[in-house]
Amino acid sequence: MTRAEPELPPLREVIAAYELRARKSLGQNFLLDLNLTGRIARAAGPLAGYRVIEIGPGPGGLTRALLAAGAETVIAIEKDTRCIAALGPLSDAYRGRLDVIPGDALTFDVETLGGKPTKIIANLPYNIATPLLIGWLSPRQWPPAWDSLTLMFQKEVAQRIIAEPGGKAYGRLSVITQWRCEAEILFDVPAGAFTPPPKVTSAIVQITPRAAPLAEIDQADLERITMAAFGQRRKMLRRSLSGLDVSAPALIALAGLDPTARAEEIDVAGFCALAKAYAELRETG
Ligand code: SAM
């Protein structure tokens, strides 16, 4: 049996009534096309029985779609007090299912929520999209508290997340994401779909935890290695890894890699091998 959805005013009326002039400093590019917000909600897979965390609900276009798609509850974290007021009627209409939390999403720890199956779905504020993603990818324990991430990024960032070795887009973000997750771009969203339109094309990315990580290594080691290697991405590994606190030739040999290879030629498994070798060499001194 399908539930009757509550009657809600058009989003443009909400924006006018609450004077939600978009603020660039808050990365505000709103989605007002309900077909598109519905498509994003569906892209996240079934929502019935899930708690959904949404970052930056703004005037609530995507929030409505998540609730209409059957999310058991939506926890929406919003920094802009004007938007929080605008979400009041939506909260009333979906009694008990929408919890709007005022504050900064960067300080909200999803891992403390406990228990329930959780999906994170958001049209992210682009100025903090990468630190938010890195935070979700770096829980104290794996698997994380979330079952999937369905997120809007600038297309250029989306391409870095899913990139394979061999190109400019491949880098730290690709390795840190793909070590423990699978990631794919689901579809592009043109700038004209937003109000106001940003300067660039966007894309929806789906990220799901792998059943097992590609290797049992320490994230801090992987970060140290990728930072050194991609920090000088055009240099050979024997050079780019020479600033670490272990011998670069010994490290590269132990990982079974070619010392003349460059960072962008090393696949994710290769970086895992380097992180593992790095831990071993530091342990054995
Ligand atoms: N979800 C809405 C939509 O799709 O129309 C708005 C998306 S807009 C790209 C980003 C939203 O994130 C804005 O509502 C903005 O106020 C909010 N925001 C920006 N920085 C934030 C932060 N640090 N914590 C929580 N929300 C933030």
Q: Looking at ligand 1, which residue's alpha carbon is closest to its atom 14? A: 58
Give the E-state strand segments of the chain in sequence order: 30-31, 51-55, 73-78, 98-102, 118-123, 148-154, 181-189, 194-195, 202-209
Q: Which two tokens stand for residue 26?
A: 């808050």
DSSP 6: P
Q: Tell whether ligand 1 has an atom less than 6 A from the beta carbon of residue 128.
A: yes
Containing 140, the helix (H) or strand (E) segment is: none
Bond from prior residue into 196 cis (ω within 30 degrees of 0): yes
Q: From first to last of its 285 residues, what are the pLDDT tens digits of the chain?
A: 456 889 999 999 999 999 999 999 999 999 999 999 999 999 999 999 999 999 999 999 999 999 999 999 999 999 999 999 999 999 999 999 999 999 999 999 999 988 899 999 999 999 999 999 999 999 999 999 999 999 999 999 999 999 999 999 999 999 999 999 999 999 999 999 999 999 999 999 999 999 999 999 999 999 999 999 999 999 999 999 999 999 999 999 999 999 999 999 999 999 999 999 999 999 997
Q: Which two tokens stand for residue 236?
A: 């050979």
Q: Looking at ligand 1, which residue's alpha carbon is closest to its atom 18? A: 56
Q: Looking at ligand 1, which residue's alpha carbon is closest to its atom 21? A: 79
The structural domains of the chain, ordered by start, are 11-209 (3.40.50.150), 219-284 (1.10.8.100)
Which residue from 53, 78, 98, 132 has its CB within 8 A of the most atoms of ligand 1, so it is best to mutate?
78
